[in-house]
Each structure stands twice: as structure tokens, then as C-alpha cells.
Amino acid sequence: MFTFEWTEILDMYELLATLTYWIIMLVLAGLCMFIFEMITPYNDREELLKGNVAVGTQFAGKLIGIGIITEASIAHNLSIWGAAIWMLIGFILMLISYFLFELITPFKVEQEIKNNNIAVAIVAASLSIFIGFAVSGSIT
């Protein structure tokens, strides 16, 4: 029948590298989301606990955008530090996009999201996902 060696499937160096990337990138993603939470004029956690779907939608879009950037950062860098730096560059670009979106709209995006305007939240979440893909496509 089929025989195999575990070393053909699971290399301990690869496992340790994966765990290292996972820990560092998870911490960085948490830091990015914390910064996002600090710049919103409302408390994301409180709004989520109240069942504010718009806040949840926007929060999910930010997470997905950060996740897309994280994947590209890891895939296109030879070191954990290169990946971390590119993830942070991507996050900064997301922040700039966030402020530009707020600036160019004829209404206050964050106030609409706090008021549970789901349509605005979907556009904001889509912007975060778009920026995630645009940044990930530019990381080489």
C-alpha cells in the first residue's frame, strides 16, 4: 500500500517558521485593528455588542483587507521582518485610504456607520478589501 515518512510531509523547520510567522503577523494584525479602533469616533466593541451591523460590516472589511495584505506580505518576502514591514506599509496605505474616503464623501462616514447605515458600511468595507487587494498586488 502507501507508505510515507512524516518528514516528507512535515518538516520541523517549516512548522517552526509557520508558527513564528503566525504569532508575529497575528500580533501586528491585532495592533493594526487596535489603531483602527482608536481612530474611529466610537467604541467598536460597544457598538458590536449593541448589535450594530454597520460597525460589524466595516470591521469585517478591515480584517479582510489586513488579511489580504498579510498573505501577500508573507508570500513575497524572504524574511519575517520583510513581511512585517510590508504589512505595516499596507496598513498605512489603508489608513490613508480611510481618511481620503472620509474626506471626499459629502457626509460623515463614521457617523453614518455609528448610526447603523449598512449601505455606507458595505462601501467602507469594500474599500478596505479593495485596498487590501491593490496593496497585495503591488507587493513584489
pLDDT in tens, 18-65: 899 999 999 999 999 999 999 989 999 999 999 999 999 999 999 999
Per-residue exposure over 34-65, b if at least 16 CB sit within 10 Å of its own CB, e if not: eebeeebeeebeebeeeebbbbbbbbebbbbb
Query: What's the CA gap between 13 and 24, in Å, rounded?
Result: 16
pLDDT at 48: 94
Whether pLDDT at 2 is above 90? no
CA–CA separation, 1 and 73 (whole Å) = 40
Query: What does the chain come to in residues?
Result: 140
Identify the pLDDT of residue 99.
92
For residue 6, name the pLDDT band (cuts at 50, 70, 90): low
Segments making up each domain of the chain, as ranges = 12-138
Q: Is the pLDDT of residue 10 over 80?
A: no
Q: What are the tens digits of pLDDT across the range 85-131?
A: 999 999 999 999 999 999 999 999 999 999 999 999 999 999 999 99
The secondary structure of 9-66 as a DSSP string is H--HHHHHHHHHHHHHHHHHHHHHHHHHHHHSSS-HHHHHHTT-HHHHHHHHHHHHHH
pLDDT of residue 1: 60
